[in-house]
Structure 1
Amino acid sequence: MPICVYWGEDDFAIEKAVALLRDRVLDPMWTSFNYTSFPPEQADAAIQGLNQVMTPTFGAGGRLVWLINNTLCQHCPDNVLAELLRTLPIIPENSFLLLTSRNKPDERLKSTKLLKQFATEFREFPLIPPWKTELLVQSVNQAALAADVKLTSKTAQLLAESVGNDTRLLYNEIEKLRLYAEGSNKPLDVATVTQLVRNTTQNSLQLAAAIRTGDTAKALGTLADLINASEPGLRIIATLIGQFRTWLWVKIMIESGERNQQAIASAADIGNPKRIYFLQQEIKFLSVEQLISCLPLLLELEISLKQGASEITILQTKVIELCQICRGS
C-alpha cells in the first residue's frame, strides 16, 4: 500500500520530491496511461483519486495518482473518510497514492491518523526560518554538493545571505554557478558569486541589523530595497520577529549569569553554539528592556499587515519607531 503524504511551505522542495517519485514509479512509455493528477478545484477529487488508484496499471511500470493541495488532513467529509477506510488497506503494491498540501496535517482528525497508519512516507517540507543562518548555509552546501559546485565557506555564506530560504532561487543560482564553473576544479570566489548571483545587496537580516543600531536612514533605505525587490511584507516581519526573539533570549540568558554557550544556544533555539559569541557582540549595547519593547511593535506590525494596512506606510512607520527604541542606548 504505497501511500505518500507531503506537506509544507517549501513548494519547490515538494515539486522535486514529486518529480523523483514520478520517475521512480512510472515507465516513460506508459505515463499517459498510469499517471493522473487531481487539482483541488475538481469536484469529488478525493473520491475519484481513490477510485483511480485501485485501477490496474497498463503496460510496464506502476500507477501514480496525485491529489494536489488536498485538504483531507484538515477537513475530511464522512463519505470521503469512509472511502479512505475502505480503500487504503487494499491499494495494489504497484499503485501509488500521493497527497500534497501546504498546511500541516491536523493530528486530531481520523483521516490524518488513518493516513499516518498506512503511509510509507509522511514528510514535511518546511521553509528554513530566515534568521537560522547556519541551516541556510547547510542548505546551500547540500545543493552545491548535489550539483558538483565547489564553494568556499565565505561564498556559501554569501549565497545563503543572497537567496535566504527561497529554495527555488537557490537551485537556480547554483545551476548558473555550475554552468559558469564547468570544467574548473577551483572553488568559486566571492567576487564571482557577487557578480553572478542576484539579490546580494539587501535582505531582511540586514534590516534587522540596521534597526538594532538605531540607524533610521540605513534601515529605511534597506526597507526600500527590499520592497523594490518585491519581498513580501509578512516575510520581512517574520524575519524581524525571529531575529529579535533570538537576540532577546541570548540577552536574558547572559544577564541571568549563564556563560555556557551550549545552554544559551539551546534556550535560544540556535543550532550552532559558536554563533553565541557573535550574537553577544551584536546586542552588547542593547538592554533587555529595549529588546522587550521591540516585540509588541513587531507584533502590531504583523497584525496590521494581515488586516490589510498599507504595506509601505506601516512598515516605514514601525521601522522608525523600532530604530528610536534601539537608539535609546
Structure 2
Amino acid sequence: MAVYFFWGEDDFAIAQAVDQIKQSVLDPAWLSFNFQTYDGSKEESTIDALNEVMTPPFGMGGRLIWLNEATLCQSCSDSLLQELQRTLPVVPDSSHLLITSRKKPDKRLKSTKFIHEHAKVREFSPIPPWQTEALADRVKATARELGVNLDRQATELLGEAVGNDTRRLWNELEKLRIYQGNRTQPLTQSDIQILVAATNQNSLQLCEAIREGNGGLAIQLVGELLAQNEPALRIVATLIGQFRLWTIIKVMIEAGERDDQAIAKLADLKNPKRLYFLKKEIARLRSQQLLKTLPILLELEAGLKQGAIATEILPTKILELCQHFR
C-alpha cells in the first residue's frame, strides 16, 4: 500500500517517521524531482497533490507526495471526496502519498472512513506521563532502533526520566549510544542516573510529596522542575493524570469493588499487576481527600492557560493541595 496517514500532536515522532519514508522511497540524486510538499489545509492544493501522485517518478527511486497539515478528516467537500475515491485505490506502486495532520480524525466523515480503508494509519499522540509501562515500551523500541543496549531497570528509569517527550528521548539515547561505545554489557540504572536529568520522575515525585502532605519538598520539586525548563502545563498534566488515577481506584474500593480486573479496566491500567502498588500508595487516604484535589488542579490548569505566571500560581496551588493530606 502506497498511501500513509499519520496524525497526532507528537511533531517530532511524525518528523522521524516522515524521514524514514523519504529514505526508503526516494533516491537522493532525484530528490528535487520526486519529492513535493503540499498544503493540506487548502482544497486546491490537495487536489494538485492527488494529481501529482499519479505521475510516474523521474529517474531512479520512487515518488513521494506529502500532504501536510491535511484537513481531509475534519471537513471534506463532495468534490474532494470524489477525487479521493478516484485516486487512492489506484496510486501506482512507484508513487507514495503521505498525509499528515495534528488533529484527531473525525470518524463520522466518509473521507475519514475511506482513508482508513486505503491507507496505513498511525497515531502519534504523546503517551500520558503516568502510563509508565507504555513509556518503558517506547524507550525499549527506540533504544533498539538506535542500537542502545539497556537493561530492564535502565529502560524503566529512562522512561520515567524523559516522560512523553519524544525529542528528548531521542537526544538522550543518542548521548547514551556515544557513552556506550563498543561496550557489550547493557547500560544500567546507575548510568542513567549519572547521565540523564529526571524531569518526569520529579513530576511523579511531586505527586508523592503532595500525597504525603509534604509542602516543603513539593515546593522544592516545583522549583527544580521549572529550573530545568519543564513546561508548567506538562507538570500539571502529570498531576491531573496521577490524582485522577488514584481517585478512580479509591472510589471503587470504597464502593465495595473487589475485582482487580474491573478496577484496572476503569482506571485504564494496561498492566493490572500495577494495581497492587497503587493500592498501597493510597491505603491511608480517603476518597474525599482525593476528590477535592481535582477542582484545584483544573483551576491550576485553567489559570496557566489564561496566562498566569507559573512561578506564582504553581507554588500557591501546590501548597493548597498539600493541605488536604496533612
Q: Which moved more, 1:202-211 or 1:124-133?
A: 202-211
The whole-number CA distance in structure 2 between the counterparts of 1:21 and 1:309 is 42
User: 1: distance between equivalents of 2:198 and 2:245?
Assistant: 25
- Code of the residue aligned with 2:295 in structure 1: it is P
Amino acid at match of 1:102: R
Aligned equivalent of 1:248: 247
Correspondence list, 1:12-23, <5 A: 12-23=12-23
SS in 2 for 1:203: helix
Q: Is the 8 A contact 1:202 1:225 kept in 2?
A: no
In structure 2, what is the Cα distance between the partners aligned to 1:4 and 1:146?
21
- Which residue pairs with 2:104 in the alignment? 104
Within 2, Cα distance between the matches of 1:163 and 1:156?
Answer: 11
Which one-letter code corresponds to 2:294 in the other structure?
Answer: L
- Structure 1 Cα separation of the partners of residues 55 and 255 of structure 2: 64
Quote the offset at 1:129 in angstroms.
0.6
- Conserved 8 A contact 1:7-1:123: yes
Where do 5+ consecutive residues of structure 2 fail to align? none
Residue type at the aligned position of 2:138? S
Tell me, in whole angstroms, the C-alpha distance in 2 between the residues paired with 1:124 and 1:201. Answer: 22
* Structure 1 residue 179 displacement after superposition: 1.6
Aligned mates of 1:44, 1:317 — CA distance in 2: 51
Name the residue aligned to 2:63.
63
**d(CA) in 2 for partners of 1:3 and 1:201?**
36
Aligned mates of 2:36, 2:28 — CA distance in 1: 14
Per the alignment, residue 121 of structure 2 pairs with: 122
- Give secondary structure in 2 for the equivalent of 1:318: helix
Distance 1:316 1:45 in 2: 49
SS in 2 for 1:9: coil
Q: Matches of 1:42 and 1:253 in 2, distance apart?
A: 48
TM-score normalized with structure 2 length: 0.91
5 Å-filtered alignment, 1:1-329, equals: 2-39=2-39, 44-77=44-77, 79-119=79-119, 121-199=120-198, 203-327=202-326
In 2: Cα distance, 1:264 partner to 1:201 partner = 25
SS in 1 for 2:229: coil
> Aligned partners of 1:94 and 1:273: how far apart in 2?
46
Task: Check the 8 A contact 1:53/1:91 in 2, yes or no.
Answer: yes
| Matches of 1:44 and 1:315, distance apart in 2 | 46
In structure 2, do the counterparts of structure 1 residues 282 and 296 end up closer, same or farther at CA, with 3 Å as the change threshold? same
Tell me, yes or no, if the aligned pair for 1:158 and 1:200 is still in contact at 8 Å.
Answer: no
Where 2:58 maps in the other structure, the secondary structure is: coil
Question: How far is the alpha carbon of 1:77 from its aligned partner?
Answer: 4.4
State the AA in 1 paired with 2:142: A
Structure 1 residues 118 and 189, CA gap change in structure 2 (3 angstroms):
closer
5+ residue gaps, structure 1: none
**Worse-matched range after superposition: 35-44 or 179-188:** 35-44
1:163–1:199 contact (8 Å) kept in structure 2: yes
Superposed CA offset, 1:263-293 (max 9, x none): 3322211122222222112112211000111
Q: Which amino acid aligns with 1:35?
A: F
Taking the aligned partners of 1:148 and 1:57, their CA distance within structure 2 comes to 33
**Cα offset for 1:304?**
2.3
Q: Check whether the contact 1:194–1:200 (CA below 8 A) recurs between aligned residues.
A: no
User: Scaled by the length of structure 1, what TM-score is found?
Assistant: 0.90
Identity %: 53
Distance of 1:153 and 1:3 partners within structure 2:
36
Q: Give the letter aligned to residue 74 of structure 2.
A: Q
* CA deviation after TM superposition for structure 1 residue 49, in Å: 1.5
SS of 1:326's partner is coil
Change (3 A) 1:89 1:186: closer
1:300 aligned counterpart, secondary structure: helix
Q: Decide whether the 8 Å contact of 1:69 with 1:100 is kept in 2.
A: yes
Query: Conserved in 2, the CA contact under 8 Å of 1:5 and 1:100?
Result: yes
How many aligned positions are there?
326
Query: Is the contact between residue 153 and residue 189 of structure 2 (CA under 8 Å) also seen in structure 1?
Result: yes
Structure 1 CA distance for aligned equivalents of residues 143 and 258 of structure 2? 36
